[in-house]
Chain A
């Protein structure tokens, strides 16, 4: 206990180093810009800027990526409120009330509410990050090779099952990713597999290249296929952004409820901020004393949606950091960032020297929320103009950043080609209903699962019974089955929430 408290304290001291504060400021600003641009997503932004964190210390790099993530989730609300186009799906519910407020000349108040609610939602989500992550981490310490095998299968089933319209297609995407993860050196036999004579494939497909290709390059291709449309002019506003005491008091219970909703949804692998915003919004309407304002510009609605989607951020990091199971695309990309820094997500992040990095990241995550509030309140007017940036400019800009980012990893031209190939795979996968997050997750989890499986079989002399030998294995098997069945539940949940909101 004393050790944990001291680690927490040290984490704050490290997070307050100027380099970390600079990383937070830059990350939040970049994140908000990406978030408020309709067409760009949080996952895409984090993947695109991943190479920038290579030369940074692990904690600084992770803090910067976390800042981009939180900034992007908040940034989506700016275009949702001012031009009625959610920058990210996480702000879809914010657009309902936020734009109505803009039409009533209350855009400043709507943005102020979004800033405050996002701040408290994100800040409160840090509590669960501090509380649950070490506990789950300790539990994961008991895992051996068979458990790690099942854990990787669970991670795959949950993301493949939940984030695709068709469960089978999601699982097919996961299997395709698993197959691609076999490229490189065989971990047990030392045999070259499917390397096509390329020595740069010795350690397998570079996950960062795959991430940049699947999330960023494919997005540029998606933008390139459709007609370039002029975005609506962002509404000008002169009203106050700062809320009064009574207004703050009124939205406080809504923020509290949305925090719990967002946090729980964040912890659940597969459910993300886009579901949380609708659930937060609907709960705000259920408990509101002014139900008649909903649909006509209710700032409680904005607060409900924004607090919930930002509360997802802290919660979603818990399964990724402790068990190595990213629940959605952004956390899959963040996990890639951890791996690039030479760190393995899981219980080892909470012991020894690595624990210092983890707690610095946690403290940085708290500071991110304060920066988000400050930068959000001060810069809303500027960000509103950026939201109008044409897709025509975004297409070549994103492409160039993808090329330079993938080249920077090993200063190797082959990585650029791999990135482009994954860009095309990502684009085709989006077009035909496959799942990019499942492909990338399989690329990350594939080698872990393969090692777990083959080591277990080696230990047991080839007897597969070892995979069913402990109670934890059975718990994980049950979770895998639930993971496969979860789309049915998620479909119902999403459908219900959207029906309520419309």
Chain B
């Protein structure tokens, strides 16, 4: 049994409870299908929990964090925060400005050489401009703060 699987089961039960609460707000006829799916997910999670308990008796308990052995928390959290800030800033300062900020900040954080930063940013923005602005004619967010 892996300790991490306990978390998986808790999250899955949480998802079931959340959807169950919302399903009960629906009219009766619309409840049946979501209830069946919730029951399926809850049933499979229970089966997994039972397997875990049997496994704990048979093979003991491990932390189950093998997938995290190379995990660098500070690097991951920093980049994830940068992504969140990037997406949050996009409607305000526009796609290109926020992307330049995000890419420069993350590449500097990851210790990429300046000439590589300039080269990779140029390549990405030329690609995005040609593919999305010229070819697909997508109107990318221009940013509310600039008053466009």
Contacts and interface: CB of A to CB of B under 8 A. Distances in A.
A443 B20 CA distance: 19
Interface of B (DSSP majority class): helix
Interface residues of B, number: 60
B56 to A, nearest CB: 15
A420 interface: yes
16 contacts: A51-B136, A175-B37, A175-B44, A186-B30, A226-B71, A392-B112, A393-B116, A396-B107, A400-B124, A401-B128, A403-B99, A408-B132, A413-B141, A416-B87, A432-B5, A450-B33
Contact of B48 (A169, A411, A453): A169
A228 B135 CA distance: 34
Taking chain A's interface residues, is the majority helix, strand, or loop, or is none over half, making it mixed? helix
A52 interface: yes
Contact of A408 (B19, B40, B75, B138): B138
A193 B99 CA distance: 34
A168 B33 contact: no
Interface in A425-460: 430-434, 450, 453-454
Contacts of A194: 19, 22
A396 B76 contact: no
A25 interface: no
A401 to B, nearest CB: 8
Contacts of B79: 224, 395
B44 A390 contact: no
A225 interface: yes
Contacts of B97: none
Given A172-B48, A416-B90, A179 B38 contact: yes
Interface of B: 4-5, 7-8, 12, 15, 19, 22, 26-27, 29-30, 33-34, 37-38, 40-41, 44-45, 47-48, 51, 67-68, 70-72, 75-76, 79-80, 83-84, 86-87, 90-91, 95, 99, 102-103, 106-107, 110-112, 116, 120, 124, 128, 131-132, 135-141
B54 to A, nearest CB: 12
Contacts of B76: 221, 224-225
B30 A191 contact: yes
Contacts of A403: 86-87, 90, 95, 99
Contacts of B132: 51, 404, 408
| Across the A-B interface, the 10 shortest Cβ-Cβ residue pairs | A392-B110, A175-B41, A191-B30, A224-B79, A225-B76, A226-B70, A396-B106, A408-B138, A189-B30, A396-B103
B27 A397 contact: no
A268 to B, nearest CB: 24
Interface residues of A, number: 51
Contact of B34 (A171, A193, A401): A193
A182 B31 CA distance: 11
A225 B110 CA distance: 12
A191 B41 contact: no
A106 to B, nearest CB: 32
A290 interface: no
A407 B135 CA distance: 15
A20 interface: no
Nearest to A413: B91
Contact of B44 (A171, A193, A221): A171
Interface string A224-239: 1111100000000000
A179 B140 contact: no
Contacts of A226: 70-72
B102 A396 contact: yes
Contact of A179 (B37, B71, B131, B137): B37
A122 to B, nearest CB: 26
A179 B4 contact: no
A413 B48 CA distance: 37
Nearest to B42: A175
A176 interface: yes
A179 B15 contact: yes
A193 B26 contact: yes
A400 B111 CA distance: 19
A97 to B, nearest CB: 28
A22 B23 CA distance: 49
A416 B120 CA distance: 23
Contacts of A175: 37, 40-41, 44
Interface in A373-411: 390, 392-393, 395-397, 399-401, 403-404, 407-408, 411
Contacts of B137: 55
B95 A404 contact: yes
A325 interface: no
A420 B29 CA distance: 33
Given A179-B41, A225-B72, A397-B120, A392 B111 contact: yes
A127 interface: no
A178 interface: yes
Contacts of B106: 395-396, 399
A176 B141 contact: no
A417 interface: yes
Contact of A432 (B4, B37, B95): B4
